[in-house]
A and B are shown apart, each in its own frame.
Chain A
């Protein structure tokens, strides 16, 4: 049961990660921060977040997601 909830949370996390890879809320916004558009800074931060999330996934759910106990 607890595993089931965790699985759903992973799916939700990946869905959010995908959807907000594009900062839709900045659509049409041309604000420049330190020489680069604000949306580009979002992208840079988001890729770092993605790496952290993927790393945690490989630690915690990689094999369970496939139903195997491979080392």
Chain B
């Protein structure tokens, strides 16, 4: 009996410290992984189709953002009856206006060749924007822990500030307003 009491106490203590570390518990990992895999099982999206969707999204988004293409995560999630598409993209930097214009122009010429319907493009655009803001906030929370000090020092004329969302500087503000005005 005594052994049991001590074992329980020990586990409680361990559990307490684990929580303090804010490490994702095995249970949460299991739940999240399961949700993803079940979503794939339930929809008839094969890995090939998902991969195709992924690459098309990368193509589209890279017109506007420079991002880590390999790290793009595409998940389907179920919230009650609703199915949600979760997109997580580590943004390296936002492209400036010129680059975007150029990319769009390039796409335009391609479009003329292929003629996809405009509605589709608009729809996906909307989704991306909302997803993107979500992901940016996610990114911030992740990166905050790692890069707190070094960036503030560098933040001058260089582009370091753009790499990370947690640093505010003049240049970034300008970029932001430029984005908004669009």
Q: Do A and B come from one complex?
A: no
Measured CB to CB, the residues of A under 8 A from B are: none
